Structure 1
Amino acid sequence: MFPKVFILSVLLSVCFLNLFDCAVPVITEFLSVPTTVKARENNSVLLPCYLNTGSSGGIINIKEDGAFATTIKWYKNKDLLVDSSDPDLHLPDGHMLWSNGSLEIFRVQPEDTGEYVCEIIRPKPWSTVKQTHAIEVMHPPSVSPFPPTGFLQVKLGEEVRISCTPSGVPYPIVSWNFQNEELKLIDHREMLKFTASDRYLAGVYECSAVNGVGEAATAQIELNIIYPPELMTSRSWIHTAPTHRAQLECKVSADPQAMVTWLKGEVPVPLDSRVVSLVDGDKYTLLIRNVQKSDFGIYTCRAINELGQGEITIQLSGVPNPGVFKKTDDNALAGKNSYKLIWEVDSYTPIIEYNLWFRLYRPKTGLSKPDWTKLTIPTEHNSGPVYSKAYTIKGLKEGTIYEALLVSRNRYGWSKPSPILRFGTLGADVSNDLATPVQIHTQDDSNIIPLDLTASSSCIHSGSVLITLLISVITCNNIIFVG
């Protein structure tokens, strides 16, 4: 009988010389293999630990049958759990050591997660052997918010740091919502860090932790951003007249709440039964009953809190509201060499006269704009507060686009300019995003208006327009177009 060591050497030589195709058996001390067990809570886990003590399936083993275990020990995270040779060392509750050396844990809990080492002591000359296993007890996620109170207050412009620290096995993935809308982040970060550059970043931030075990865990953090007063008004210019009633309104946003004062110039407005200050939520109103001429002027709504102040001005005036050109069917207004303009002006006191300005329209080409032509147009006797007027400009070029604006005067002065009206005579090419008519705000850089709109009538005209006049009477005081 050949020794087993000799037989193994022969087999290895044959394989090395490539005389036969063969697989060299792997000789191990254990029949069990290292295992990492992922288990849900309350499941049972069996960690195997038994020796390879003999032949199995024709595989030659160099061990002798005497390589049996004399003592079996189990460690958890290097702490001794059980020693089969020590009857006084009792296993923790829910643990059992089987006769083959395996360790079973019943109803595992998160605290059972860890590294488990099986140590087998054998009789001489056999050495002590060890095998390592691991248990991961999977459990649903949880999150701990920061700040722990779930509330954070910062000043406008300060840095914001909020976070959610998750726990659970497997380690959870964190995502964020703001005001019930998902935040599109480039990664699943646990901390949000940003600058409170806008007060509208305040609100409820919610983190959600998911690990595929049980339900998602969530936590909310409310962010409050305090800021100095911000003011706005829907009307910065208000038309009125003596004996009428006027309301000046400003909306104030501030945190902490601001103290609001109305001033005329730099003097606080004296309040009485005729002039009353009203508050409705964040809307502050200065109500003036039975307006007097002395009430005309510029008012300031000023708000102050501990972080600063803000203010907005509102003008109360008796001059007319800016005129508005009426938008109607252009085919009914445009002639071959004429165009009929229709406008309305709101004024509590009678309109005395209108100044109508017009010129050729020239798109942005880098060239200077044509000069304006001014017409002084008398008003008609009608009762306000809405004054209407129609006027036909004649002597215009066929198929040409013009632009016009209007100012009006009553006893208190001239109105602000109307929006610019763009119009065309018959045959005009209204392509390239031109609409007929269309009103353009007079502050548009491409439509610079004359500096002295309210000057007395004079011989201001564009020669290219006057050459084509059908009928005109020119005086040094006015230009009269037949219409």
Structure 2
Amino acid sequence: MVHASLLCALLLCCFVHTGRGRPEGEDYMNDNEEYDYGDEEQEGAASEPPAPAGPPPVITSRPLDISAKPGETVLLPCDIVNLAPNYAVLWLNGSTMLYSDSFRTQGVSPRVDRLANYTLRIRGVRLEDSGTYTCRVSSDPPVAVSHKLLVPSPAQIVKLSPDSDHRTLLLGSPLTLECEAVGHPEPQVTWTKPGSVMPDGKKAVRSSVVHIPAVTLEHAGSYECEAKNGMGNVDVRKFTIQVQYAPKITAMKEVVNSGVGYESELQCEVDALPQATVSWAKNGKPVASGGHVKVETFERLHVLRITKTRKDDFAVYTCVAQNPIKTESAVIELTGAPSIANFVTSNSTGNSETLQWVIESHAPITEYTLRYRKRKTNEWRTENPVVEDPMGNQYKVTHTLTNLAPGDYEVRLSSKNSYGLSKESAPQHFSIKDYGEAAQSKVEANANPGSTAVDTRPTFAVLVSLLSLRALLQ
């Protein structure tokens, strides 16, 4: 009975101590107080872990220069000792991250993987895999080793501009020649212009880009780009540049002198690309072949031929050349008037000047007009040389200007027949020397007292000779 009473008392104490049977809503003393769990411990938990104790990590692998053929597997070692667990091991290609520990960067080829011993493996290497690979440990300071991978490959041109075999440009347009090549070692790119020279005058230009600010006709032709790197294959690309331009038209004679009943020939030379269409006009109206007028073409030479020229054929003609770029023209006058005098020669005698010209005229020349003046003055003087009989339709004009004062002169000649007055000849120049001043200078030199002894010696010698001759005669 006593034992049973003790057991009941112990059970009651345990019940009261654990709070079981506590009335609902009754709190323990200080239940609403906030407890301090230790701020210093919380701050310590958020801080960086202390640096690992022990020696720093060391990469024992040495840098390598590796040459691999396309398709081979390459191993890039990174042996590390003293590597603490909280250090990361990184692999980079140039500045591009490949691996951080065992995590491959997104976008990295699955051909590239990192082995358990930190070696980087590249399977089926390609040309683009060439570069510098670095294994780095994120210690402080970091340690690293770099390997160079070279995948030799022959030179190959991957970009060519112009990108077609034939390129057409307008005269004066800019042109850039571009030739981009790949390969290992890096290819050497050379531009040439077979059978000619490059725009800078050299036979070859070692550059991937050649710029021509404004193309000329000399820039037209074939060009070659050559890429080589000593790996056996030499890649060559060719193309042709064509330079188009507006017609260039030249009148062979701007004035054609003819006569009634004679054959007249008007000529113009035309050069153009694309080829120009050439036509003729008389006083602004189209001229076509027919009757005594024939239009002929000999490659670049275009001829308007008039057989048995009539008086009404004398007019102003226009040679017109047209292509898609532009229309150009040249004016030719067909006239019965004398030709422009062609200067032959001149000769000076004292204060006179004799000049000679030749003139062509199919009708009799009735008058010559010669104008002359001292140069740099406006005082023109006029004379009319004598008209002499021609030899056929060739007239020779010879005229002497007399009593000319010393100085520099300009002279021009024109002629006239029943069809009109010719144009004046090109100016001819001649000079008249001042012989009077030269003689006066000589006299003054002889009268100079400083030269008396020199000048009297010849006179004395002559006197002695005369006296000796007189004695002999006696």
TM bucket by the smaller chain?
0.5 to 0.7
Q: Which residue matches 1:164?
A: 179
For residue 349 of structure 1, report the CA deviation from its aligned partner.
2.7
Within a 5 Å distance, the mapping from 1:134-149 to structure 2 comes to: 134-143=148-157, 144-149=159-164
**Aligned match for 1:230, one of 248, 258, 264:** 248
Residue 163 of structure 1 aligns to a residue in which SS?
Answer: strand
**Aligned match for 1:404, one of 411, 436, 440:** 411
CA distance in 2, matches of 1:163, 1:355: 65
Q: Which residue matches 1:473?
A: none
For residue 257 of structure 1, report the CA deviation from its aligned partner.
2.9
Matched, 1:266 2:295: no
**Aligned match for 1:305, one of 317, 320, 323:** 323
Change (3 A) 1:118 1:189: closer
CA distance in 1, matches of 2:111, 2:73: 18
Contact kept in structure 1, 2:357 and 2:398, CA below 8 Å: yes
Residue 260 of structure 1 aligns to a residue in which SS?
Answer: strand
Within a 5 Å distance, the mapping from 1:457-476 to structure 2 comes to: none
Gaps of at least 5 residues in structure 2 are 1-54, 84-101, 138-142, 436-474
Higher relative helix content: 2
For residue 45 of structure 1, report the CA deviation from its aligned partner.
11
CA distance in 2, matches of 1:281, 1:347: 31
Matched, 1:423 2:437: no
Contact kept in structure 2, 1:229 and 1:255, CA below 8 Å: yes
Contact kept in structure 2, 1:277 and 1:285, CA below 8 Å: yes
C-alpha offsets along residues 315-345 of structure 1, whole Å, 9 cap, x if unaligned?
11121221122236xxxx2122111112211
Change (3 A) 1:45 1:361: farther
Change (3 A) 1:306 1:102: closer
Within a 5 Å distance, the mapping from 1:40-439 to structure 2 comes to: 49=77, 51=79, 79-80=110-111, 110=127, 113-114=130-131, 131-143=145-157, 144-156=159-171, 160-172=175-187, 174-177=189-192, 180-184=196-200, 188=207, 190=209, 192=211, 194-195=213-214, 198=216, 201-209=219-227, 211=229, 217-327=235-345, 333-362=347-376, 369-398=377-406, 400-426=407-433
For residue 300 of structure 1, report the CA deviation from its aligned partner.
0.9
Contact kept in structure 1, 2:369 and 2:383, CA below 8 Å: yes
**Counterpart of 1:359 in structure 2: which amino acid?**
R
CA distance in 2, matches of 1:302, 1:342: 38
For residue 27 of structure 1, report the CA deviation from its aligned partner.
8.4
Change (3 A) 1:145 1:48: closer
What TM-score comes out, normalization by structure 2 length?
Answer: 0.61
**Counterpart of 2:383 in structure 1: which amino acid?**
L
Number of residue pairs the alignment of both structures matches:
352
For residue 52 of structure 1, report the CA deviation from its aligned partner.
7.8
CA distance in 2, matches of 1:321, 1:41: 83
For residue 29 of structure 1, report the CA deviation from its aligned partner.
3.5
Contact kept in structure 2, 1:335 and 1:426, CA below 8 Å: no
Residue 312 of structure 2 aligns to a residue in which SS?
Answer: helix
Change (3 A) 1:40 1:303: farther
Contact kept in structure 2, 1:161 and 1:193, CA below 8 Å: yes
- Structure with higher Rg: it is 2
CA distance in 2, matches of 1:28, 1:289: 107
CA distance in 2, matches of 1:213, 1:264: 69
For residue 346 of structure 1, report the CA deviation from its aligned partner.
2.1
For residue 262 of structure 1, report the CA deviation from its aligned partner.
0.9
For residue 260 of structure 1, report the CA deviation from its aligned partner.
1.8
**Counterpart of 1:163 in structure 2: which amino acid?**
E
Residue 419 of structure 1 aligns to a residue in which SS?
Answer: coil
C-alpha offsets along residues 421-478 of structure 1, whole Å, 9 cap, x if unaligned?
11123458xxxxxxxxxxxxxxxxxxxxxxxxxxxxxxxxxxxxxxxxxxxxxxxxxx
Q: Sequence identity of aligned pairs in percent?
A: 26
CA distance in 2, matches of 1:327, 1:167: 71
What TM-score comes out, normalization by structure 1 length?
Answer: 0.60
**Counterpart of 2:403 in structure 1: which amino acid?**
G
Matched, 1:29 2:58: yes
Gaps of at least 5 residues in structure 1 are 1-25, 54-61, 64-72, 86-100, 121-128, 363-368, 429-483
Residue 182 of structure 1 aligns to a residue in which SS?
Answer: coil
**Counterpart of 1:192 in structure 2: which amino acid?**
H
What is the Cα-based RMSD across aligned positions, in Å?
4.3
Change (3 A) 1:276 1:401: same
CA distance in 2, matches of 1:80, 1:304: 65
For residue 166 of structure 1, report the CA deviation from its aligned partner.
2.1
For residue 380 of structure 1, report the CA deviation from its aligned partner.
0.9
Change (3 A) 1:27 1:386: farther
Contact kept in structure 2, 1:159 and 1:195, CA below 8 Å: yes
Residue 290 of structure 2 aligns to a residue in which SS?
Answer: coil
Change (3 A) 1:52 1:292: same
CA distance in 1, matches of 2:68, 2:76: 19
CA distance in 2, matches of 1:41, 1:397: 96
For residue 379 of structure 1, report the CA deviation from its aligned partner.
0.5
